[in-house]
A and B are shown apart, each in its own frame.
Chain A
């Protein structure tokens, strides 16, 4: 019998805080959108930087870290090195994220403190993942992607800390050039490479797809890794041609990745369009839209296009991929803890029974509308549409929190 992980399901109480906090950060990020002043929207605006850190650290990273506590053994096929370390990660990430957001909004002096706390939190996470990877005898492609993404995260947070120190005036560095490296290491190097690796395990698992080639993923990860390295080198040595080559390779990489996801989707035996399936469809369409907006930005040079590209990537691609997977991961963890001991003794629910239909659908519809309306608002510079989009997003986020608590408390 093949040896497979011994610890596939860590205790839910360990993972629950990540998901609960993450969902509240999603709501707060959505409320934050109301404060956007369309005329002042710019990538270096402290309000935008505060929003980006609120969303990425509080929501995206918080939920990815929690999900990794469960998914790492699934993907790496070995038990965690020290899963208890996750008890320390979320409080540090919470405090660090809040300090950083307040730092951007009110007092840059807080940034190094928040940055150091986030750094400690992420270092614990990265080291735990590295130590777990060391237990793997032979790395496959997906395991390699976890190694690559966490290496990028390691350097991404070092860059981030340097920027925080420079932003607060503690050290003297060129923030703008380092920022490119930081953003690319964290967003493309960590988040996107992690998504690429994990999704080719999770999506076929939930759709029952089989028999597809992993070659497109191999190419996608290779191109994205090269692209990230190029952009990071260019950010340190200001080599413009390398920077653009990095962006180009990243766009091609996403194309290969999308092709693989399309093949998995197209050959799936499980055709039901539940909230998971529609969330993923929206997510990947958002990814394509984001690429198109990014390409248009390079052709036309208008900052609105770049802002819209970032917005669709974050709130369309990342957010829907995350919320969609929450509807699979949380029921599994709750079921595993609460109902699996009752199998064979009494009737137990199926995982799909634990997902609230109305609130999950409401979450999808309102959040999707919000993403579309805010995108149009950014492109047309309409403050009124920003407010309308934010309203949809807030309703969607409330429905998401309601769905999450329904699944957590399912009896």
Chain B
């Protein structure tokens, strides 16, 4: 990993990486859709067209479905996440310092003031959710409020505000939907292939071209969901790095977040109300124990030590 020396360069690099990953994911979805359409088109006839119109149609249909699905998820996902986590909205009197720190970061980022919520658990964690730049929510756990100093709290809130400013919830919803859709289509085509190949065996005029295509589809259908999942997790990690870099833009000092991440790494613990569906939202992964190592390729969050060393590169102490 090249050492980046300022938050602007770090942000640029993270944005470019996200874009590359999104392009890869879209290409994967298009490939799956095209293959399925191609197979369907060769199914009825002996010829194997080089360019399949049905394939293009299927890829288009897949894109349309994912747009609609994303829009629905974006409309209802926000409230579901908050209800699942059991977060309660607070006013300034309930936790003046937290409220003040969120106001400070709203000013520093130029993002409209989000709602502030508290999760009643001793675990140290925080998350942000919101699909537009305005109208977001920042939630922190009670344990975090009781443990962190003002500067550390500011670093954590800056990280969450960065997620809102960078529209990360929206990114992850769209990526999640695309990944889900790829898995669904691959699963469906595997089932159909199973059924189709038994049909074809009893049917003597199956074309050899179709046979090769079927093997290709079989391989793609097995590998594509795994690849999509890996891309999704890579996007999630890039957005974490980006939020860390953006938090330095807001506070102009990485020290608060560095020392907060140190404490979170020690004391983050699983707590009720989080699930695999929402784990990527948190500042540190709320499900995995930090002693057990998740395979790096499938982790929602980068390693905490790695995040800390990158933050040090952005001008932290030591």
Q: Do A and B bind each other?
A: no
**Chain B interface residues (CB < 8 Å from chain A):** none
